[in-house]
Structure 1
Amino acid sequence: MNTSLRRPLTVIGAPVAALAVWALAVPVAGTVLTVRTGGGTQQVGPVSVVVASLLAGLAGWALLAVLERFASRPGRIWTITALAVLALSLFGPLGGAVGTAATLVLVLLHLLVGAVLVLGLARR
């Protein structure tokens, strides 16, 4: 598949995959995805899952486009950066999720979106 088609499909595929996991975990399995916020808690719903993963995909694609224009090894730089951002993103669910089940599902969502984006965007 060529790059001009693969990258938009990857950016769309990440939220689709995340939403599928959310649907299995929340409505089907009954997991309550709650995170701590400023002074209280908030439920993680399907809109949050789709928006966050879509924004991550668009940001990753934009960074890769800039790197391809200005860097000598854009794929390598992008992959290292993306993996570092993924690792840092795990602090969110590890420190903010309420309960073990919510933590596991949110970590899985982060890892899934990261894997889809890393494997789909940088590949030539």
Structure 2
Amino acid sequence: MDTTITPAVTAARPARRRDRALAVLAATVATLALWVAAVPVAGVDLVARNGGTQQTVNPAAVGISTVLAGLAGWALLALLERFTTRARAIWTGVAGLALLLSLLGPLSGGVGTAATLTLVAMHLLAAAVLIPLLRRTARR
């Protein structure tokens, strides 16, 4: 058994976890900052249709959604790293597709132009933070 690689691999795991957790945190902070800029500061009435009802999008919904999206991305990346040598490339493609699909929600469910644009911007912002930061942590 070659033990010269083990310390480097062991040391990389906590750093990778930390960096991935910071990526999720950064995306969450960014989307919440956008919510603050749009809703209380700019006065956007951030409402989305959910089924037959309309719901106000509050900071808790923004934060929880961003954390869940980030954790899902992290989980998929970790799973791909276990089963393929092309985890980084596959994950990046899936993340891009997930972004495109996620945009269908605000484009079809935003109530009013300002709400729709704000929701789209939140999705794009979360992806702009999560995709490059999580991608950077992938094993090469």
**TM-score, with normalisation over the residues of structure 2?**
0.85
Q: Structure 1 residue runs of 4+, over 4 Å off? A: none
In the TM superposition, residue 39 of structure 1 has moved relative to its aligned partner by: 1.8
1:35 corresponding residue in structure 2: 48
- In the TM superposition, 1:1-124 aligns within 5 A as 2-124=15-137
Q: Distance in 1 between matches of 2:69 and 2:130?
A: 9
Q: Distance in 2 between matches of 1:31 and 1:74?
A: 39
In the TM superposition, residue 4 of structure 1 has moved relative to its aligned partner by: 3.1
Q: Which amino acid aligns with 1:21?
A: L
Tell me, what secondary structure is at the counterpart of 2:136? Answer: coil
Q: 1:14-61 CA deviation, whole Å, 9 max, x = no partner? A: 111000000000000000110112222000000000000000000000
In the TM superposition, residue 5 of structure 1 has moved relative to its aligned partner by: 2.1
In the TM superposition, residue 94 of structure 1 has moved relative to its aligned partner by: 0.3
Aligned length: 123
Q: Distance in 1 between matches of 2:134 and 2:50?
A: 31
Identity, in percent, stands at 55
**Which structure 1 residue ranges, 5 or more long, are not aligned?**
none
Q: Distance in 2 between matches of 1:84 and 1:123?
A: 18
Tell me, what secondary structure is at the counterpart of 2:85? Answer: coil
Q: Which amino acid aligns with 2:23?
A: T
Q: Distance in 1 between matches of 2:46 and 2:118?
A: 8
Tell me, what secondary structure is at the counterpart of 1:122? Answer: helix
